[in-house]
Amino acid sequence: LMFKIVILLWLWQQMVASGPSDGEFSKIGNVTSNVVVQLQFDDSEHADIVANKHGYKNMGKVGSLKGVYWFKKYDHYISKREIKERLDGDPEVLWHEFETPKKRVKRDGLLDDESNRQSTRESSVEWPDPLYSQQWYLNGFVGDGMRVREAWSMGYSGKNVVVSILDDGIQGDHPDLAANYDAMASHDVNDGDDNPYPRDNGDNRHGTRCAGEVAAVAGNSFCGVGVAYNARIGGVRMLDGPVSDRVEGSALSLRQQHIDIYSASWGPEDDGKTFDGPGRLAKMAFYQGVTEGRNGKGNIYIWASGNGGTFKDSCSCDGYTVSIYTLSVSSTTFDHKQPWYLEECPSTLASTYSSGLINQPAIVTTDMPNTCTTHHTGTSASAPIAAGIVALVLEANSNLTWRDMQHLVVRTSDPTPLLNNPGWIVNGVGRKVSSKFGYGILNAEKLIRLGKKWKTVPTQHVCTFVYEMPDPILLNGQFLKNITINVNGCPQGAPVRYLEHVQLVMSVQFSRRGDLRIRITSPSGTESELLPPRLNDGSDGGFIKWPFMSVQQWGENPEGKWIVTLENVGNPNNRGTFHDCLLTLYGTEEMAQPSELEMDEELGKNSPPALFGTSNFVSDMAGHQVQFGQGQHAPK
């Protein structure tokens, strides 16, 4: 009964916190008064002139997006149509769009409740931090787990790596974060300044919690230990106010040459009936980040896969998790079960630990203000753990690109502890993969070992195949329709021989969207469910050019027949039309190196002797650049 009550309270909390209404958005001005433009010239003074010409004030650049500025005027008496005509007619304005609100939710799992919570056994004390003994996902309670301790014993702690938490802010002077806080990785998009300190109203602790998972200082006898306890940590305050495409674009493009990893534990509503994703500016930020960030190696965007399991939601309907530019992370409980909030989709790459039922252990981290918590929850907690692990890997090899990191995750994640959960398949190259957990639990030690030997992945090729459709296909009654797309070579040039991402962009109108199931089957026989039925989704609008994505065919040769299956699993009176379909294959012509055989030989070697749990722990670790007290780090 207590569990049901807590779940109901959590569902109510999610509805209340589902995002700003139009009324809330109007607090920063009439919607037509806020406009984002891209100019021919990336020059702030010139932007001032253009803004003034149209009766606006230039509020500055949108993040680091080239030529993109935010114009604003509060007292607008000009009609939206006239404003649009003026901007359309200005040759210096490449494009413009009026700022509109977006609903975004933080991906917590449960309300705080310590009653009846199962405790973990205390491990031998390895750090003096009082809550380390409760960090079951780091201290060995779950066996091999994510092998973070082994990564520490190899001398890696995230040194010189910069992580930014995109959320509701960060308490940068928190006792367990201050030594690692990086002001250059921080910004307040909501208020337009460089101080992302959260508004202390009880609702804005989410970002500080996520930050502590990544980079809480080790050995200072306070709270617990971050996965990458010597990484530089910053935060962007963007969820504590109206969220728009401008807000997201600003956050995702913040100082892309300084920040290595962005961690996001939020997204569209996880209500089982929403289709939503990044707008034009957020998409620009992602693309600019992966192509130009980190001096061309690409920023790494870690994304929480979603908490809509209770509503039978699917992360395939979340445009952030289906982006090829994000590393989408799911969750598993301490006993390697599927959490009740987990969403399934074939774009999930891997999993880390998080909370389970109300009486099961959750995640230990920093909290607002100046405190700690032992019950951070949901996929919100999984993404920052992944960000910390990625920071360890980047310390070991800073030359890894964003695609290198995804290759490494696919090759080294461990499915074995999770195989008792249903839904696993074996793809065409023999890898086990799941729509619940991706390729398994992240393994920090294996990621580092392979990452140190990794050769930069070959050039990405993109091959697009259009399903020719002279007229829309009727979808009436109780149907199961297959369409076939033949892949032979590549219309755009060099072929893809080794798959990475598979994207299917579709437009479908259907009388009840939640009754529609869509699957794709590769020539190797790997079947992925791109869209499962969603009981709550009663929309009759369908979707327009939605980019479904799968990573489950990773490594396969795409040559041959691809089969797309559409099925009505609901009311036989449903009606609809299938308008267009575009299959895009991302991958390489040559195999990534080292080869599978070389990888197996390398990862099969014995691990180094464990340095933890010994009476001489401090002196043992001294030779591995680990120091207690101040959370030592080197400036970026």
Q: What is the pLDDT of residue 79?
A: 77
pLDDT of residue 107: 85
Write the pLDDT tens digit of every residue in 442-500: 999 999 999 999 999 999 999 999 999 999 999 999 999 999 999 999 999 999 999 99
Average pLDDT over the chain reads 88
Q: Which H, E and C letters describe 211-231, residue by residue?
A: HHHHHCCCCCCCCCCCCCCCC
- What is the spatial distance between Cα 144 and Cα 387, in angstroms, rounded to a whole number? 19
Q: Is 200 tagged catalytic?
A: no
- CA torsion through residues 526, 527, 528, 530, sign: positive
pLDDT confidence bin for 13, thresholds 50/70/90 = very low
pLDDT surpasses 80 at 75: no
What the block records as the tokens of 280 is 């034009």
pLDDT at 80: 77
Does residue 20 surpass a pLDDT of 90? no
Span 110-122, average pLDDT: 42
Active site residue 258: no
Q: How far is CA 199 from the centre of its chain?
A: 24
- Please pick, among 33, 64, 157, 167, the residue that the annotation labels catalytic: 167
21-102 in CATH: which number? 3.30.70.80
> Kind of pairing, strands 560-568 and 371-376?
unpaired
pLDDT for 141: 87
CATH architecture of 461-588: Sandwich (2.60)
DSSP one-letter code for 465: E
Catalytic entry in 206, 336, 407, 461: 206
Q: Is 397 exposed, middle or buried (0-12, 13-18, 19+ CB in 10 A)?
A: middle
Q: Which residues pair with 546 in a beta bridge?
A: 506
CATH for the stretch 128-456+607-622? 3.40.50.200
Task: Give mean pLDDT, residues 102-110.
Answer: 83
Residue 83 or 208, more confident? 208
Domain boundaries in the chain?
21-102, 128-456+607-622, 461-588
Per-residue pLDDT tens over the stretch 386-397: 999 999 999 999
User: Looking at the chain, how many residues does it have?
Assistant: 636
Q: pLDDT over 90 for what percent of the chain?
A: 79
Q: In 103-240, at which residue ranges do the beta strands (DSSP E only) sit? A: 105-106, 162-167, 187-188, 232-237
pLDDT above 50 for 56: yes
The pTM (predicted TM-score) of the whole model is 0.89
Q: Quote the pLDDT of residue 108.
A: 81
pLDDT at residue 438, rounded to an integer: 99
Active-site residue flag, 206:
yes
Average pLDDT over residues 263-290: 98
Cβ 503 vs Cβ 465: under 8 Å: no
Residue 117 predicted with pLDDT over 50:
no
Distance (Å, whole) CA 299 – CA 326: 10
**Which one of 64, 380, 413, 434 is the catalytic residue?**
380
Report, as an integer, the average pLDDT of 329-338: 97
Task: Give residue 76's pLDDT.
Answer: 58
Segment 199-249, tens digit of pLDDT: 988 899 999 999 999 999 999 999 999 999 999 999 999 999 999 999 999
DSSP 387-453: HHHHHHHHHH-TT--HHHHHHHHHHH-B-GGGTTSS--EE-TTS-EEBTTTBT-B--HHHHHHHHHH
Q: What is the pLDDT of residue 617?
A: 30
Tell me: the pLDDT tens digits for 543-565? 999 999 999 999 999 999 999 99
